[in-house]
Amino acid sequence: MLTFLAKGLLRDRSRSLFPLLTVAIGVTLVVFMDSYLRGATDAMFAATASFVCGHVRVATRAYAKAGADATNELALLGVDSILGELKRDFPDVTWTLRTRFGGLVDVPDSMGETRVQSPAAGMAIDLSPESPERKILRLEQSLASGHLPSAPGEVLLSDDFARRLDVKPGDKLTLVSSTMNGSMATYNFTLSGTVRFGVSAMDRGAVLADINDIQQALDMPDAADAVFGFLPVAGYDDRLASRLAARFNSGRDTTDRYAPVMETMRLASGLGSMFDLIGAATGLIVSIFIVAMAVVLWNAGLMGSLRRYGEVGVRLAIGESKPAVYRSLLAESFLIGLAGSVLGTLAGLGLGYYLQEVGIDISGMMPNATVVIDDVLRARVTPVSVYIGFVPGLLATFVGAAISGLGVFKRQTAMLAKELGS
């Protein structure tokens, strides 16, 4: 009997191939959408963490409160001991010092006169060879020319910026800025290399200097804007970040404007509501796909039972019982749902995996982006990807058939002769 049903299933394409393709395509889309959206969110989180505020950030209360308007005046003092404390109390987290600075980059000509000058957005980080920043900012991979700084006074420029200024590794630059206390500061650097991060907002006009040089240049010894902490997890785990922050902040002075406070990326980036929105939108998009797929499959089940009205009638007349017919319809839909969901999940995972490993460059599509977003579309395949399409694909097919198949029980055998007669 099973072979008999299997033969029917395989020969009747509108019973096997078409529903199978419908399930497979639906499941593929759900799986792919899910891993793509996950990847896109991850990329945004990663870029935000690397360039804006870490997964958690320790800064003064005043600096935290000022948000994007914060200046070096509000920097954290005594950072070496704070850093030591953090490393001791939270050994799993990677801690780094960061200072943002603004100013003019001045390029002298051979006579020492200004050849070209341009405003720059600077980021001071630990550029030493053993620094974790090399990994966090993917400096090696991002290097476009020259070499990474190996001596004091060496800086990196974003490659586009260096081109605009027409400078090459080895050239001298002067930074004109202001000290922590507001007086004018100049400092001479040597360009060691150029970098391209693939993050449009960073690639347009950034200077990357060593934190020690900047402490000297801006007269802020043992001070930095903030300490960034990077959690050892993929993506961003807000619950973990919140726990760390609560632990660090407990029992600390809340009246002193200059006392350190730890904030999560959610808070520190000011993007909390955007994160929520993205999370909700992702959920919504995936749900819509799942519902649409379920409706389509459901309908396919209904169509199937209409089309097979005659066949079911003959089988009942010949003496197959209604429960037996119903069971065979369920078994068929289960097989179709299973095969389609397996195929769809594999295809979706394949696409997602391709995007995860290779990616698609979209930098051309957003030349003026100010949000720090990776220029390469990525996906992230997670264990969730395995069932997010599979389960609804299988269920929708099966439940669709289970409900439409109930029609079998409504068939009046007394009507069969009439139905089969014409």
Partner 1 sequence: MENGVVISTDKLVRKFKVGRTELVALKEVSLEFRRGEFAGLVGPSGSGKTTLLNIIGTLDAPSSGTAVVLGERVESLSPVRAASLRSRHIGFIFQTFNLLPVYTAYENVEFPLLLLGMSQSERRKKVTDALEWVGLADRANSRPTQLSGGESQRVAIARAVVKRPELVLADEPTANLDAENSHKILQTMVSLNHDLGTTFLFSTHDEKVIRYLRRKISLIDGRVANDEVRSPNSD
Distance of CA 37 to the CA centre of its chain: 7
By beta-carbon proximity to partner 1, the closer residue of 135 and 307 is 307
By beta-carbon proximity to partner 1, the closer residue of 283 and 310 is 310
By beta-carbon proximity to partner 1, the closer residue of 319 and 383 is 319
Taking the complex as a whole, the smallest distance from the CB of residue 353 to partner 1 amounts, in Å, to 38
Binding positions for partner 1, rule: CB under 8 A: 1, 4, 7-8, 11-12, 15, 310-311, 313-324, 413-414, 416-418, 420-422
Taking the complex as a whole, the smallest distance from the CB of residue 349 to partner 1 amounts, in Å, to 33
Taking the complex as a whole, the smallest distance from the CB of residue 410 to partner 1 amounts, in Å, to 12
Cα diameter, the chain: 108
Phi, psi of 301 (to 5 degrees): -60, -45
By beta-carbon proximity to partner 1, the closer residue of 280 and 420 is 420
- CB–CB of 305/332 below 8 Å? no
Smallest Cα–Cα separation from 372: which of 63, 61, 58, 68?
Answer: 68
* CA torsion, ordered 366, 367, 373, 374, to nearest 10 deg: 90
By beta-carbon proximity to partner 1, the closer residue of 183 and 422 is 422
Taking the complex as a whole, the smallest distance from the CB of residue 232 to partner 1 amounts, in Å, to 58
Taking the complex as a whole, the smallest distance from the CB of residue 330 to partner 1 amounts, in Å, to 17
Taking the complex as a whole, the smallest distance from the CB of residue 14 to partner 1 amounts, in Å, to 10
By beta-carbon proximity to partner 1, the closer residue of 231 and 300 is 300
Place of tokens 């950030």: 57
Place of tokens 């990077």: 230
By beta-carbon proximity to partner 1, the closer residue of 12 and 219 is 12
Taking the complex as a whole, the smallest distance from the CB of residue 368 to partner 1 amounts, in Å, to 60
